[in-house]
Structure 1
Amino acid sequence: MAVFGSRVAVLEKRIYRDSRLRGVAFTTICVGAATGIGLAAHRLTRDRPIARTVVTAAATWAVLGGTTLAKEGVHMAGSLEAGDLAAARERLPHLCGRDPSRLDESELARATVESIAENTSDAVVAPLFWGAVAGVPGLLAYRAINTLDAMVGHRSPRYNRFGWASARLDDVANFVPARLTGLLTSALAPVAGGSPRRALAALRRDGHRHPSPNAGRCEAAFAGALGVRLGGVNDYGGRLEHRPELGDGPRPAVADVRRSVRLARAVSLSAVALAVGARLLRRA
């Protein structure tokens, strides 16, 4: 997907205008191209089951980011456990876009837990969901949508209009997967020493309070499962965003980072099992 990102960046330079219409055209071209490649691969392997399996496996490997997410979480946990805040601050941009320069241990832990919660859906559950629904075209289309949202979907003077279509399309694509992530997180809360009832209560009570229609579901469920309180003021390079509090209990501590990684891995494995089961049922 790095190749896709570089091509998108080139196209953006050529097509960019501070206009929603240009943004719609940009999004349509990028997502259409990725979907077209997926459809071509689907048709070329229609009567070749071994080739279809290889292509599906390759596409799935290319779009999933669960292993990288867990690895970054473990790195952050190690730095925080060692008391090396400089290393943790240097590592945080691998997980999110917040300014880490003034974050203390607790805020670094909170940022990590929130990023792991949201990205468990974005990097694992959502692509698997769309792969189960639409095969290789669904996998590639979703990853294109999510990549565009990361590149141009954030609120800033440059992308407020141009990135509108990419951001809204990402909201639609993640609507079901985010809620599935919340439910899986609640069910698997005991993996992190939590309570399914408490996680589900936080999901139902607080999930809608987040400014994102989807991220809040994931973060609220993780907060309930871990027994912590997420949300607060986030600094994105001088742009401050005040997020509502999600869950009850204390702010995340260093130990909660590894618990969140363990929970994310369990949710990811469950999502894999569900996706495989759904595809087998469709074939049957």
Structure 2
Amino acid sequence: MLLYHTIALAAGYLLDLLIGDPRWLYHPVCLIGNLITLLEKGIRKIFPKTEKGELFGGFLEVILVCLISLGVPCAVLSTLYRYMPLAGLVLETFWCYQLLATKSLKDESMKVYDRLKNGTIEEARYAVSMIVGRDTSELTEEGVTKAAVETVAENSSDGVIAPMLYMALGGAPLMFLYKGINTMDSMLGYKNDRYLYFGRCAAKLDDLANYIPARISGWLMVAAAFLTGMDGKNAVKIYKRDRRNHASPNSAQTEAAVAGALRVQLAGNAYYFGKLYEKPTIGDKLREVEPEDIRRANRLLYGASVLSVLLCLGGRLLVQFLV
């Protein structure tokens, strides 16, 4: 199965680069999202609306989502590999392809670029609102561009490199487990009245699951800066200096590398749901942010993803040789 996992990872990555996510195909992350919503409704009916009740309810949600996200694909693939190995390989390749987001991240961010270059600021704000969580109605052209660049930077880790690393470690089942954890954080990990306690376990687990992948992603972004002809030395400088400039221990890792490579300043204050959140900046403002930086950020994304898949495949082939 080590060899099958290796082939599935390589083939799934290539399919992601070539095809991306077709809109007509139901995505497995949507199933995970539906599961999270369904379990939350049931659990909230059982546990009291107290601090301890919310914490225990959120903990139970995390346990159930993790067990199902890992257990279902594990059972399906184990059965197929035992009786129909080729079918198992095809399905694992397909799942790997679906759970990587390299091309879709590039395509969605380039829609913002297109509207900035060929449309109106309102159209650009709408395009970026599809890929960010902040308020976009008042963003300037610079604000729209920064939001798109930051999204490419941050999601290069949790949308591409981190799931790839988990796939390399444990095949599609571990990849599904990671996406379950990441999706829970996206849906439950808010510091508001509804999720402050219920979503705390999900948020902390996501921080833990991304801790090492985020740092690997940051260094791969730095390496990609050198390979793509950008400012690799500045990427190293800003990464070392600003990689902790975020409330999350992981989110600034790739943003710092990208800011340094592009020689721009990212992050800073932003509005969410009408409320201003003060955040530290990342990088030095050696020049103004421009729409072309979205294209440059995507080159860094592709460079880092290629380095990541080579790292993963090399590691798996080494394990295969040693075993």
Give TM-score scaled by structure 1 length. 0.95
1:282 is matched with 319
Q: Determine if the alignment matches structure 1 residue 164 to structure 2 residue 200.
A: yes
2:147 is matched with 111
Aligned-partner Cα distance in 1 for 2:275–2:170? 38
Highest Rg: 1 or 2? 2
Assess if the C-alpha contact under 8 Å between 2:238 and 2:260 holds in 1. Answer: yes
Q: Determine if the alignment matches structure 1 residue 173 to structure 2 residue 209.
A: yes
Q: Determine if the alignment matches structure 1 residue 257 to structure 2 residue 285.
A: no
Q: Determine if the alignment matches structure 1 residue 73 to structure 2 residue 101.
A: no
2:122 is matched with 86
- Bigger drift between 80-89 and 157-166 goes to 80-89
Please state how far the C-alpha of 1:83 moved relative to its aligned partner. Answer: 4.9
Please state how far the C-alpha of 1:210 moved relative to its aligned partner. Answer: 1.4
Please state how far the C-alpha of 1:191 moved relative to its aligned partner. Answer: 5.2
Aligned-partner Cα distance in 2 for 1:14–1:201? 48
Please state how far the C-alpha of 1:274 moved relative to its aligned partner. Answer: 2.0
Paired residue secondary structure (2:270): strand
Q: Counterparts of 1:225-236 in structure 2 under 5 Å? A: 225-236=261-272
- Residue identity in the other structure for 2:73: G
Aligned-partner Cα distance in 2 for 1:187–1:111? 23
Q: Determine if the alignment matches structure 1 residue 26 to structure 2 residue 61.
A: yes
2:274 is matched with 238
Paired residue secondary structure (2:281): strand
Assess if the C-alpha contact under 8 Å between 1:174 and 1:214 holds in 2. Answer: yes
Q: What CA RMSD, in Å, does the superposition of the two structures yield over aligned residues?
A: 1.6
Q: How many pairs were matched up?
A: 284
- Bigger drift between 244-253 and 145-154 goes to 244-253
**Cα distance change, pair 148–96 in 1 and its aligned pair in 2 (3 A):** same
**Cα distance change, pair 158–143 in 1 and its aligned pair in 2 (3 A):** same
Aligned-partner Cα distance in 2 for 1:164–1:144? 15
- Residue identity in the other structure for 1:158: R
Aligned-partner Cα distance in 2 for 1:87–1:119? 22
- Bigger drift between 3-12 and 223-232 goes to 3-12
Gaps of 5+ in 1: none
Please state how far the C-alpha of 1:163 moved relative to its aligned partner. Answer: 0.5
- Residue identity in the other structure for 1:35: L
Aligned-partner Cα distance in 1 for 2:196–2:287? 35
Pairing partner for 1:102 from 124, 129, 138: 138
1:135 is matched with 171
Q: Determine if the alignment matches structure 1 residue 195 to structure 2 residue 231.
A: yes
Aligned-partner Cα distance in 2 for 1:77–1:153? 29
Pairing partner for 1:224 from 257, 260, 264: 260
1:272 is matched with 309
Assess if the C-alpha contact under 8 Å between 2:59 and 2:201 holds in 1. Answer: yes
Please state how far the C-alpha of 1:212 moved relative to its aligned partner. Answer: 1.0
1:41 is matched with 76
- Residue identity in the other structure for 2:250: N
Assess if the C-alpha contact under 8 Å between 2:255 and 2:282 holds in 1. Answer: yes
Assess if the C-alpha contact under 8 Å between 1:191 and 1:262 holds in 2. Answer: no
Gaps of 5+ in 2: 1-28
Aligned-partner Cα distance in 2 for 1:53–1:42? 8
2:38 is matched with 10
Assess if the C-alpha contact under 8 Å between 2:188 and 2:199 holds in 1. Answer: yes
2:6 is matched with none
Pairing partner for 2:161 from 125, 135, 158: 125
Q: Determine if the alignment matches structure 1 residue 206 to structure 2 residue 242.
A: yes
Aligned-partner Cα distance in 1 for 2:320–2:76? 18
Aligned-partner Cα distance in 2 for 1:129–1:141? 12
Please state how far the C-alpha of 1:22 moved relative to its aligned partner. Answer: 0.5
- Bigger drift between 3-12 and 96-105 goes to 3-12
Give TM-score scaled by structure 2 length. 0.84
Paired residue secondary structure (2:264): coil
Please state how far the C-alpha of 1:76 moved relative to its aligned partner. Answer: 0.6
